[in-house]
Amino acid sequence: MQLHSVMNAQRESRPFARATLRRIGAFARPHRRRIVQFVLLSVAGALLAVATPVLAGRVVDAIVSGKDSGTVVRLALLIALIALGEAALGMLNRWLSATLGEGLILDLRTAVFDHVQRMPVAFFTRTRTGALVSRLNNDVIGAQRAFSNTLSGVVGNLVTLLLTLAVMLTLSWQITLLALVLLPLFVIPARRTGTRMAGLQREAANLNAAMGTRMTERFSAPGATLVKLFGRPDDESVEFAARARRVRDIGVRTAMAQSAFITALTLVSALALALVYGLGGWFALHGSLQAGAVVSLALLLTRLYAPLTSLAGARVDVMSALVSFERVFEVLDLEPLIAEKPDARQVPGGPLSVEFENVRFGYPSAEKVSLASLEEVATLDTRGGAEVLHGISFRAEPGQTIALVGSSGAGKSTIAQLLPRLYDTDEGTVRIGGLDVRDATHASLTGALGMVTQDGHLFHDSVRANLLLARPGATEDELWDVLGRARLEDLVRSLPDGLDTVVGERGYRLSGGERQRMTIARLLLAGQRVVILDEATAHLDSTSEAAVQEALAEALEGRTAVIIAHRLSTIHAADQILVVEDGHIVERGTHDELLAEAGRYAELYRTQFSRPGHPATRNAEGAEAVA
């Protein structure tokens, strides 16, 4: 049902706005010098293309009139020289069109890539990766064809067409006009086929993006594991095949429509050629037209209908390219919610404080951060915008550790995401070192603040590359130093290629604890002064947790820290513990103070350490007795 509704929505054809053409012009403007060179070469090539049939007609006249053989040889040599010049111009023109097309690919890809990087995290949580990658690859290449193929064909053929018509009219205006009677047969199918092909192109692009997304998800290590665990490979195959068959059907329809169109136009061209030979021969036999003129008209007619056929087919190519441009611009039109101010300042040097002042926040709705086509839905989810944080206020002095605890979904991770400005507050202020994070430059903010999440994400690259992400200029000694401090040196030295060992997609060739220590090593290498730990030990066994805790102790030394933890045993020593429930801070204090209050924190503590005789249980019970 979902696929059916999406496809129905995408079948709706809409006219292309002039704004799209203006934006294409803006991308082409930096290449205008080469475009002018290209047009001039196309004109020169068209002149040479028209000259050959005229000279061929003169050769025939020279033979019929019995002129000396030297004239025929000279005309033949001139035809040969023109052919050489035409070939050289064609190669140069092709180089210019390819340069223009590849330059456009570079501009579009970098524009989309840079723009997507500025999008908020909410964009990536909603968007299907395969659909986004398809915009960056397939659609950009489709747009490029407008310049590398279509532009060269349109300009060259248009000039050839006009020059050919002019010469034909001078030879015999009667035969030329009769040959043009069939011209409407080119225009009418071209308009209808172009519109139809644009709709098919749009649907095929969306289906290919959907298949790419499905493959990206199912072929990743966690996706493949999920499919195998729940035993649905046959269902997955059926669903994928349904999309693939639809793409196949569209491909067949597209190929047949193009073939029928070109075949019909070729047939019309052949009929027109028969008309020229018949009528021109009749005129020649009655002395009103030279035999060479008939030959020239016949050759020129092929030069006339070939460009007409190409220009008629070019509408199909142009419409397809416009679909690709439109899909690329659709992404570029999404406004990033997080933007650096023109007068942004550097985060202050030295130890840094962290402060939240009356912060209120709600996650943005889908229409602000996403597109229906990137989510593969007919319409976007209208939910969102409801406030999830209500007046959050706290302060961590330089070097202090603040711990956030509470139920799942209480808002702890949301608080953590506001500090590195993954989202912006709706009300209130988040400060680092006394500076509002919205007034800080992105580079100085990321340079001052590091974050370790519970999934310990790594790229499918070497250990070295994953570490250098934090500080590209780090030396080999510095890499080994942070690996030692993260309790990973022995492991990495035992790997087949040491620092150059590839860790696999998302680091899946390492254990959970090893991945976490890799992210901690990366944090140590970056040397950031504020550290956020979001459930950094949530899914680790006791042995791995102990190793990670040792590495964390190294990472937190001398730094301001915000720690989110479900395991309360990991935050005993925090300078201040904040209990968050339903977006409010309901309790705050040290571990001992909160146990003494016998409130929500004490309840959470008892729940985790409820074994009879456990020391933590006795502490909690003693605190309640005192209270």
Helix (H, G, I), strand (E, B) or coil at 580: strand
Would you state the pLDDT for residue 182?
Answer: 65
Q: Is the model more confident about 310 or about 188? A: 310
| pLDDT reading at 547 higher than 70 | no
pLDDT score recorded for residue 389: 92
- Helix axis angle, 184-218 to 291-332, nearest 10°: 40
pLDDT of residue 57: 77
Distance CA 372, CA 380 (A): 5
CA dihedral 132, 133, 139, 143 (to 10 degrees): 110
Residue type (1 letter), 581: E
SS3 track for 435-491 = EEHHHECHHHHHHHEEEECCCCCCCCCEHHHHHHCCCCCCCHHHHHHHHHHCCCHHH
Looking at per-residue confidence, does 328 or 4 come out higher? 328
Share of the chain above pLDDT 70, in %: 79
Q: Which domains does the chain have, with CATH numbers?
A: 18-332 (1.20.1560.10), 386-589 (3.40.50.300)
Per-residue model confidence as pLDDT tens digits over 383-396: 666 889 999 999 99
Query: Which strand (E) or helix (H) includes residue 567?
Result: none
Position 95: which residue type?
W
Q: Is the dihedral of CA 22, 27, 28, 33 positive or negative?
A: positive
User: Could you tell me if 102 and 109 are in contact, meaning their C-beta atoms sit under 8 angstroms apart?
Assistant: no
Contact predicate 500/462, CB 8 Å: yes
CA distance 71 to 289: 21
**pLDDT confidence of residue 382:** 65
What's the rounded mean pLDDT across residues 420-426?
Answer: 88
308, burial (CB in 10 Å: exposed 0-12, middle 13-18, buried 19+) = buried
Give me the DSSP letters along 382-439.
-----EEEEEEEEEE-TT-EEEEE-STTSSHHHHHHHTTTSS--SEEEEEETTEEGGG
Residue 619 has pLDDT above 60, yes or no: no
Tokens of 202: 């749009």
Q: Per mean pLDDT, which range of 266-270, 419-423, 521-525 is the poorest? A: 266-270
Least confident of 7-21, 167-181, 327-341, 374-388: 7-21
Report the predicted TM-score, pTM, of the whole model to 2 decimal places.
0.65
Mean pLDDT within 102-107:
79
pLDDT in tens, 240-267: 788 788 878 887 887 777 777 777 767 7
pLDDT at res. 369? 75
